[in-house]
């Protein structure tokens, strides 16, 4: 029986294939995580899972017979419970239909860490979802803030350009007005001496005629 067949076998008991698949995945994940962290998972009547450390040793290559050194390693180990052994050996018979007559595990018989691992895994998934949602919201806010800042900067630049253009226009008008005023004054100054000189000439002519 493979995993898919196991899921199908318990689908009717847990309310559907999806629920069965999630249940199998959750149980296996909890067992694996507990054993990897060095905890022992024990289910009364079924068996126990644990991590076993193997020291460095020498072994022989079965093909060449050469002696080789094997490094220190850790391996998982399953020990069947007495109830499981009795059913397999035939000293106890499997019940017809229903669940196997394995004693229910009392509270705390399952490794506390394993149970905690299941809760932690669920909590991690929830936290990861929340973190993802928060990250998306933060990115969205930053994007909006950047766009707003860019629009504000553009508006400020446009306003500054308009103000500069107005100042330039005003300055140009003032300069033109000053030039026009200066030119008018110069012209008036040039005309004034000419009139005086004409008046002097007329007066001189009258005086000569009188004599």
Reported as a single tens digit per residue, the pLDDT across 51-87 is: 999 999 999 999 998 999 999 999 999 999 999 999 9
Query: If residue 43 lies in a helix (H) or strand (E), which one and from where to where?
Result: strand 41-43
Residues 49, 37: contact at Cβ < 8 Å?
Answer: no
Query: pLDDT at position 39, please?
Result: 94
Q: State residue 156 phi and psi, 5-degree precision.
A: -60, -45
For residue 7, which of 16, 84, 32, 28 has the smallest C-alpha distance?
16
pTM of the model: 0.46
For the chain, what percent of residues have pLDDT higher than 90? Answer: 38
111-164: pLDDT as tens digits: 444 445 545 555 555 555 576 666 667 666 776 667 767 777 777 776 677 766
What pLDDT is recorded for position 107?
47
What is the C-alpha separation between 29 and 35, in angstroms, rounded?
Answer: 10
Q: What is the pLDDT of residue 114?
A: 47
CA distance 28 to 24: 6
């Amino acid at each position: 029986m493979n995993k898919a067949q196991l899921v199908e076998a318990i689908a009717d008991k847990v309310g559907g294939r999806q629920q069965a698949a999630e249940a199998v995945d959750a149980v296996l994940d909890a067992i694996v995580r507990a054993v990897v962290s060095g905890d022992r998972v024990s289910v009364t009547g079924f068996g126990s899972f644990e991590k076993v450390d193997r020291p460095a040793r020498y072994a022989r290559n079965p093909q060449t017979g050469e002696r080789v050194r094997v490094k220190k390693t850790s391996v998982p180990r399953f020990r069947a419970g007495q109830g499981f052994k009795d059913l397999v050996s035939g000293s106890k018979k499997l019940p017809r239909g229903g669940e196997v007559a394995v004693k229910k595990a009392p509270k705390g018989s399952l490794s506390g860490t394993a149970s905690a691992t299941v809760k932690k895994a669920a909590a991690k998934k929830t936290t990861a979802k929340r973190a993802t949602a928060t990250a998306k919201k933060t990115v969205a806010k930053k994007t909006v803030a950047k766009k707003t800042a860019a629009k504000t900067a553009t508006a400020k630049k446009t306003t500054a350009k308009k103000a500069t253009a107005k100042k330039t226009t005003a300055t140009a008008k003032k300069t033109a007005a000053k030039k026009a005023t200066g030119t008018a004054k110069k012209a008036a100054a040039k005309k004034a001496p000419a009139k005086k000189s004409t008046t002097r000439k007329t007066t001189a002519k009258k005086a000569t005629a009188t004599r």
